[in-house]
Amino acid sequence: MRKTWALAVSLAVAMGSLGMTTANAAPAPRAGQGAELTMLATTDVHGRVYNWDYFADKAYADKFGNTVGLANVGGVVDAVRAERGADSVVVVDNGDALQGTPLTTYAAKQAPITETGATHPMAAAYNAIGYDAQNIGNHEFNYGMDLLTTYRDQLNDPLLAANVLDATTGQPVFTPYTILTRKTTDNKPVKIGIIGITTPGSMIWDKANLEGKVTIEDMVTSAKKFRPGLGTVTSIW
């Protein structure tokens, strides 16, 4: 996992407070506590749609009893949206989704989606949950740019990477940032800007897939370049 989110929150109205929380970090706000938004984030899913160990051919469980998979994530997201209100919840993924299980290898190699036209199982899962944005991790490049751009086009949410540039034109290959509109728990509108940036190290690790096609700019340089497009902000993560 080598990637970074830059998250900027721009308030559309004057607010007393703004809290960004995880799914289990805070209870629903009580009257007088101030307005809240809830951010749910996944990372390094690595091809796990189901809670399944393909090598053991049985349900996955580690020694602590933990389970994995976007199928489980979907239940958590649904529960938090029901508790907090869907308009006050943002759901993002920080990358490394396309590599890691026989399922993703099959979609890339045995029956490549670039040839079959089938929807990538990870795209289908993210779409079913209703993610708001995804970042590109270094493992997204493991199967080449054709598979990655095909996957991007199958998503309902934007796949972000401000610093992945076309090697010829120097322009971003992917959407650099997105701006979401949400409502806080006390029904006040808020704009949330999200910039996606990924590690330049992929130019070394996946040189065979990327050289001559894209360049990956310094993360801070790209973040500064696209930050003005988000407008006035109160906080940056």
Residue 8: its pLDDT value, please?
40
Instruction: Give Cβ neighbours of residue 69 (< 8 Å, ≥ 6 apart).
Output: 45, 48, 49, 50, 51, 52, 60
Residue 3: its pLDDT value, please?
52
Tens-place pLDDT, residues 22-52: 334 344 545 555 678 899 999 999 999 999 9
Which DSSP string do the residues of 134-202 spell out, in sequence order? EEPPGGGGTT-HHHHHHHHHH-SS-EE-TTEEETTT--BSSB-EEEEEEE-TTS-EEEEEEEEEE-TTH
Tens-place pLDDT, residues 179-205: 998 888 888 888 889 999 999 999 999
Mean pLDDT of all residues belonging to the chain: 86
Residue 19: its pLDDT value, please?
29
For 2-16, 78-92, 109-123, 157-171, which range has the lowest pLDDT when averaged over its residues? 2-16
All domains of the chain in start order, with CATH: 3-236 (3.60.21.10)
Task: Kindly tell me if the per-residue pLDDT of 6 is higher than 80.
Answer: no
Average pLDDT over residues 5-12: 37
* Pairwise CA distance, residues 197 & 134, whole Å: 10
- Predicted TM-score (pTM) of the model is 0.85
Task: Kindly tell me if the per-residue pLDDT of 234 is higher than 70.
Answer: no
Residue 230: its pLDDT value, please?
83
- Name the percent of the chain lying above pLDDT 90: 73
